[in-house]
Structure 1
Amino acid sequence: MSLRLLLALLVLANVGSAVAIVHARHAHRQLFAELTRLERVRDELDIEFGRLQLEQATWAESHRIDQVARTRLGMAFPKAEDIVVVQP
């Protein structure tokens, strides 16, 4: 009788171990798929960040700022006679 009980326990342990392995592999595959998706999103965000940095650098160039100041805002450098030096 004890031999049958031992054999039944071993079979149950074997089946339980197999189910645990299947569950662990399934979880691993799901996590790996999520990691791959998140890495792809990260790469897309890195590309977008690079584009935005390039756009910011383009808009911040001094000749671009000077052009906008002259055309849109009507700004100009003061003439020599318009400059007043204030002394303490």
Structure 2
Amino acid sequence: MRILLMLGGLVFTLAVGAVQVAESGYQAKRLMSQIQSVKSERDQMRLQWSQLVLEESTLTDEAIIYQVAEKRLGMALPTAQQVVYRVE
């Protein structure tokens, strides 16, 4: 009887261990999937960042700013007579 109890305990322990191994494998696969997803998102963000940096450098070019101000907004640099100095 004692041997049967020990054998039953051993079988139970092995079964629990097998379930834990299966669970660990599942979690490892799930985490690897999440890692791949995050890496893909990171790569997309890096690409977007590069595009934004390029766009920023283009938009901050002084010649382009003047061109947009003149053509789209109808602005022009004031002449010396149009400049008003204010002293407080």
> 1:24 and 1:57 mapped to 2: Cα distance?
49
Does the alignment pair 1:7 with 2:14?
no
Counting aligned pairs with the same residue, the percent is 30
| Equivalent position of 1:60 in the other structure | 60
Q: Over residues 13-64 of structure 1, what are the superposed CA-to-partner deviations in whole Å (9 max), with x where a residue is unaligned? A: 1111111111111111111111111111111111112102211221221100
Question: RMSD of the TM alignment (CA)?
Answer: 1.8
Structure 2 residue aligned with 1:79: 79
1:86/1:52 Cα in 2 relative to 1: closer, same or farther (>3 Å)? closer
SS at match of 2:78: coil
TM-score by length of 2: 0.82
Q: Which runs of 5+ in 1 are unaligned?
A: none
CA 1:3–1:64: 2 relative to 1, 3 Å? same
Structure 2: 5+ residue runs without aligned partners? none
